[in-house]
Amino acid sequence: MPSPQGLTRVAALLAGALVLSGCFAAAPGGGADDRLGVAMSFQPVANLSPHSDDALLLTKLGAAETLTVLDRDGTARPALAESWEQTDPLTLRLNLRAGVTFHDGTPLTAEHAAASLNRVVTATTPPRALKGVQLTAKAAGERTLEITTARPDPILPQRLTAPQLAVLAPAAYADPAAPNPVRAGTGPYVLDSVQGAAGATLNANPRYWGGAPKASGVDARFIADGASRANALRAGEVDVVDTVPVSQLPAVEGNEVLDVPLPRLVGAHLNTRSAVFADPAMRAAARQAIDPARIAEGVYAGQADPARGLFGPASPWATAAPLPPAPAAQPRGRIRIATYDERPELPEIASVVAEDLRNAGFEVTDVVVQEFSTMESDLLSGAYDVVIGARNYSVDTGDPIGYLRSDWTCDGGYNLSRLCDPAIDAAVEAAQPAPPEERERAAVRIAEQVLGTDAIVPIAHERSRIGVAPGVSGVAEDGFDRRLITVETSHGA
């Protein structure tokens, strides 16, 4: 007799097949074992609108695609656009892939791609990847797309990889204020229905340009609690969990855990304008006191890499020169430490850092832990002496210079250390017109300048831990955390 899980999956498949019968033939296989159960680590906040951070769910579940994608080292590679060239300093010409259709049966054309991009540009909240960029797209032929910018932009192909720039069918924008991605993407799986913040049902796209998917569908559940996600995998309720917290690794024993380095740095930001850490000697003393290796081994149970610099193992181009020993200075002063609780490891790290600083001779008066949204303004305004934070340094484009500008320049919008060094600002500005490879080399040099100020003590580079049930294969190991379920993901032979 089928299990309750099997009956649920069969019902979901049959329901999806009925809804999609006007567009597609039934997916091959069709049995409960052909479907994938997936637990996502965050819930949609805008009904999967592509003009929100929910767009990441669309790309990770295989429903929507962008013109380009990032490879492991952050280089833009073909996706819906099979090639491109910079025809002049302000114009990028892209050749779209032939034979692509949207999930509602509409063929992909340059006109449709241009309309989709232009709607993103004029959205109420444009994506971060386009911050400061004036972009216009137009068709220059049936499959030729031209994108122009107000000033030269050497990383435009990387910008186009942002999930919010996924290309959707014209029908998705029937209500411009609330784009609807249902049956509007181009990916291997058709988003058939969204059950609010609880889950979504997707079915295989047999006309996918990359070949028919190996699974007949995806039943996604949005589960914010890490323990609940782990329990769902352990109980066999799902096949893939997109994030397994370190604390839950024992709970998923017997399942495979894919360990993927992420471009994410956890660090102790020292407020360079506070009463204590305005003194470079006190910052150097704090750097000497904090032990990243102990934190990586203890708090992360060895499931993170001790940081040697701003950029970690997820960036093959990155190098980090060792810093000189901190000068002999007697630690002194009262300090307050703050962090946020959305990432479960950060409060524990804050406690360890507090202990290290106390042992060195600093007086730690408070360790404040709150939700990020409630304390963001205080973190950025310098209300604390030390901020323990996690930061994705690829930002939204894979470009390290964008991260350095936002986090380490005088006018940076996310400068937790409140560092203002004219030499660093000048180096970042000089790197702006450089092509990608030169930007990476410049980023390594600028990172050394930042570390030389002791404005941050790098602690760890995090990894993504993807839980996978026995027999399941083809899950994407994406260091940029934008892809998860692919055309190859399946229960195996």
Q: What digits encode the pLDDT tens for the residues 160-190?
A: 999 999 999 999 999 988 899 999 999 999 9
Measure the CA–CA gap between 85 and 432, rounded to whole angstroms.
20
pLDDT for residue 228 is more than 80: yes
Q: Which residue blocks in 65-167 are alpha helix, DSSP H?
A: 110-121, 156-159
pLDDT for residue 27 is more than 80: no
Of 50, 61, 42, whose CA–CA distance to 197 is shortest? 42
Of 258, 465, 467, 245, whose CA–CA distance to 348 is shortest? 245
If one counts every other C-beta atom within 10 angstroms of the C-beta of residue 180, the result is 19
Reported as a pLDDT band with limits 50, 70 and 90, residue 142 is very high
Interval 245-288: pLDDT, tens = 888 999 999 999 999 999 999 999 999 999 999 999 999 999 99
Share of the chain above pLDDT 70, in %: 92
- For residue 336, give the H/E element and its range: strand 334-340
* C-alpha dist (Å) from residue 484 to 47, 67, 150, 481: 20, 18, 34, 8
pLDDT for residue 141 is more than 50: yes
Of 148, 180, 154, whose CA–CA distance to 55 is shortest? 180
Question: pLDDT at position 213, please?
Answer: 97
Contacts of residue 94, defined as CB under 8 A and 6 or more positions apart, other chains included, come to: 67, 81, 83, 84, 144, 145, 146, 147
Measure the CA–CA gap between 454 and 449, rounded to whole angstroms.
9
Question: pLDDT at position 493, please?
Answer: 56
Least confident of 7-21, 59-73, 439-453: 7-21
Question: pLDDT at position 33, please?
Answer: 66
> Would you state the structure tokens that stand for residue 470, as one six-digit string?
């026995």
Reported as a pLDDT band with limits 50, 70 and 90, residue 25 is very low
Buried b (16+ CB within 10 A) or exposed e, 412-440: beebbbbbbbeebbebbeebbebebeebb
- Segment 337-353 mean pLDDT: 94
- Segment 56-83 mean pLDDT: 96
139 has which bridge partners? 145
Angle, helices 280-289/345-360, rounded to nearest 10 degrees: 110
Using an 8 Å Cβ cutoff, are 106 and 169 in contact? Answer: yes
Cα 72 from chain centre: 13
Interval 389-425: pLDDT, tens = 999 998 789 999 999 999 999 999 999 999 999 999 9
* Entry pTM: 0.86
pLDDT for residue 484 is more than 80: yes
Using an 8 Å Cβ cutoff, are 286 and 271 in contact? Answer: no
Measure the CA–CA gap between 87 and 153, rounded to whole angstroms.
13
* C-alpha dist (Å) from residue 461 to 252, 315, 400, 419, 448: 23, 11, 15, 22, 17
Measure the CA–CA gap between 486 and 481, rounded to whole angstroms.
13
Using an 8 Å Cβ cutoff, are 446 and 431 in contact? Answer: yes
Q: Is 87 helix (H, G, I), strand (E, B) or coil?
A: strand
Measure the CA–CA gap between 356 and 290, rounded to whole angstroms.
6
Of 286, 295, 298, 454, whose CA–CA distance to 360 is shortest? 286
Question: pLDDT at position 125, please?
Answer: 84
- Segment 357-376 mean pLDDT: 96
Least confident of 129-133, 313-317, 367-371: 129-133
- Segment 42-66 mean pLDDT: 94
Interval 99-116: pLDDT, tens = 999 999 999 999 999 999
Question: pLDDT at position 329, please?
Answer: 86
